[in-house]
Structure 1
Amino acid sequence: MRSNVSDLPLGTLRGVSQVDFQSDWRTAICFIVALFAGGWQFGVFGLLGTVVATLTAWFLGASGPRLAGGLEGFNGTLIGVALVLYFDARWITVLLVVIGAIMGSVLTSALNAMLTPHNLPTFTAPFCAVTTVMLVGGPSYARVWHGRSLAASPSAAHPGSSVTFSDLWQGLLNGIGQVFFQGTWYVGLIFLIGLAFAGWMVAVAAVISSAVGMVVAILLGAQAADIGAGLYGYNAVLTGIALCGTFVVPTALGLVYALAGAVSATVLSAFVGDLFEPVGGHTLTWPFVLVTWIFLGAVPVLAGLRRVST
């Protein structure tokens, strides 16, 4: 069933909050405020990606429920935010976001067709694929790269594994904000407030998962500056939210399962970052996507776990 045009505004709004699996309009408003608090360019380009992806899906005849629920827009949101972060706010970036959001929309439909028989969502895989391609290919195009250099992690300027109290409390919030590439603690706090509107369990899952990511990173000896920036928390946050009540029933065993998923996503973050180091080390949300696909794929054959009914 094709969506009515009147469904598009709310569907676009929900596209922003669906990055964290939420459809509450209050959550979406908080997320948009958070993006603009991080910088006008993140708000503008994030919304541009959301709008283009949603309109593309509508134009091509995507189903009404998916459009109205924001499920066709959230990859566009992340594409917009990521590309303006890496390529700056320029006219060429506007073009890249439009092209990327269209590509992401088509890829979302393709992956949805392939994964639905296995009861697996697309998650942010379209965003990861499109953004990785553009980041890897960017240096080959002078107008795109424009003299930029490969981005360095915070630890490049501040090496060392001695974690301070400031690293801990800021890293806890930054782990939530880094889902949208935001590394300022108060922006992460606004995102957390938005998650609280969606439900206390969602907010608690985000905080605990971010903490798990930090603890694992500290125990393994990761760089303190990267921990404080939230770079080891955000994939754990997405994985924790996904496996704790969103897609898996939060029984006692289910909570342990979600915890294991958050740990796994954190460990995989370093692997993905090192794998992509020759092209800037852009981990994106690949660890979350891969880990959560595996953990959800295993649920049907694990008698102690149950998927949430949809």
Structure 2
Amino acid sequence: MPTRPLPTPALRGFRALLSGFSQIFLQADPGCGLLILLGIAVGAPELLGGALLGGLSSMLTAQRRGYASADIEQGLYGYNGILLGMLISMQFQWSASLPLLIMASAGLSSLMLAPWMARMRNRQWLPAFTFPFVLISWLLLELATPLQLQLRPGAMAESQPLDLINSLAAMARGLGQVLFIERPLSGLCLLLGLFVADSRAAAWGLIGSACGLGFALYQGWEQHSALAGLYGYNAVLAAIAVNQVNRNMALPVLAIFLALVLQPGFAALGLPALTMPFILACWLISASQRLLKQSATQIDLRNTKP
């Protein structure tokens, strides 16, 4: 039988980059990443360059530092850089220093992630998820004035009636807002990408977005923000992440609830929530499970003592 040719370094790099896009939704599937890339091109083409530059910069930093090739190929050193590239492109006006800022921030995210993953594997630390992206984003937004970064003016909010069509569109937007995209068509591309990678992840992502919309409206939170999907994206990520390691349906639902109740607190702190509510929700559930397991082990040890 003829042997299949090995993929070229360029092809392996492209697959790793696509996997980095899919890792935003906690998947390691180049096909999913390709559909996510399409969703960005459809819904926010102005952010596509920043996403690609950020993903490449974080991946190349990992390669130059000699990090595990398996982690790089799975996209683990891509997704934080992609999100940083998109946020920087969205928040700040164009300048000659902006690409350098994206490359530096994305590279820093890989430098932060590597020791965290080592401790997660050797010392049972909780997963980092998108924490490097959140921390670096908060720092950049705080240092915008000293760094002479000009913020882009915010878009005018358009009121929308609460009806079936807008509610369905809001569920798609909840997926898109993971990538700062409001167009429902982009959300559908992301949902299709999730379905390609894992149908359960797609289902839980949709459930998370729907719960975010319903909970926000029930609580009387700002209707425009709810219909824009701004209360859905953390619930989407929390549901997908917890479902990956727990087949008990109650735990992803709990993760959705925690992500939703934690999100408004960041406005009170004067910080953009970004994906921190999702991270905290997952950390709380994981830490609680560990404590319960340790308690059960200690009880068993006491019961077995003569």
Which TM class, normalised by the smaller chain length? 0.7 to 0.9
Is the 8 Å Cα contact of residues 41 and 89 (structure 1) preserved in structure 2?
no
| Matches of 1:166 and 1:283, distance apart in 2 | 27
The share of aligned pairs that are identical, in percent, is 27
How many correspondences in the alignment? 284
Of residues 132, 136, 142, the one that matches 1:126 is: 132
What is the TM-score normalised by the length of structure 2? 0.87
Question: Which string of whole-angstrom CA distances, capped at 9 and with x for unpartnered residues, describes residues 239-272 of structure 1?
Answer: 000011x222x1xxx2111101111101111111
Q: CA, structure 1 residues 270+171, in 2 after alignment: closer, same or farther (shift >3 Å)?
A: same
| Matches of 2:80 and 2:264, distance apart in 1 | 23
SS of the residue corresponding to residue 11 of structure 1 reads helix
Kindly provide the amino acid, as one letter, of the partner of residue 100 in structure 1: S
* Corresponding position of 1:282: 272
Compare 49-58 and 210-219 and name the one that shifted more. 210-219
* Corresponding position of 2:281: 291
Q: Deviation of residue 152 (structure 1)?
A: 7.4
* Corresponding position of 2:179: 180
Is the 8 Å Cα contact of residues 16 and 30 (structure 2) preserved in structure 1?
no
Question: Which string of whole-angstrom CA distances, capped at 9 and with x for unpartnered residues, describes residues 89-112 of structure 1?
Answer: 443221111111011111111322
SS of the residue corresponding to residue 84 of structure 2 reads helix
Of residues 74, 77, 84, the one that matches 2:89 is: 84
Is the 8 Å Cα contact of residues 119 and 125 (structure 2) preserved in structure 1?
no
Question: Which string of whole-angstrom CA distances, capped at 9 and with x for unpartnered residues, describes residues 43-95 of structure 1?
Answer: 21101101100000110011121111111111001001111010144432211
Kindly provide the amino acid, as one letter, of the partner of residue 254 in structure 2: A
Question: Which string of whole-angstrom CA distances, capped at 9 and with x for unpartnered residues, describes residues 109-138 of structure 1?
Answer: 132234332252210000001111101111
* Corresponding position of 1:308: none
**Structure 2: 5+ residue runs without aligned partners?**
1-7, 294-306
What is the TM-score normalised by the length of structure 1? 0.85
* Corresponding position of 1:165: 164
SS of the residue corresponding to residue 91 of structure 1 reads coil
Kindly provide the amino acid, as one letter, of the partner of residue 185 in structure 1: P
**Structure 1: 5+ residue runs without aligned partners?**
304-310
Kindly provide the amino acid, as one letter, of the partner of residue 260 in structure 2: T
Structure with greater Cα Rg = 2
Kindly provide the amino acid, as one letter, of the partner of residue 250 in structure 2: V
Q: Deviation of residue 40 (structure 1)?
A: 2.2
Q: Deviation of residue 9 (structure 1)?
A: 2.7
Is the 8 Å Cα contact of residues 44 and 181 (structure 2) preserved in structure 1?
no
SS of the residue corresponding to residue 50 of structure 1 reads helix
Q: CA, structure 1 residues 24+204, in 2 after alignment: closer, same or farther (shift >3 Å)?
A: same
Kindly provide the amino acid, as one letter, of the partner of residue 274 in structure 1: A
- 1:196 paired with 2:195, answer yes
| Matches of 1:19 and 1:298, distance apart in 2 | 25
* Corresponding position of 2:39: 34
Compare 112-121 and 16-25 and name the one that shifted more. 112-121
Q: Deviation of residue 300 (structure 1)?
A: 3.0
RMSD: 2.1
| Matches of 1:275 and 1:153, distance apart in 2 | 24
Q: Deviation of residue 5 (structure 1)?
A: 4.9
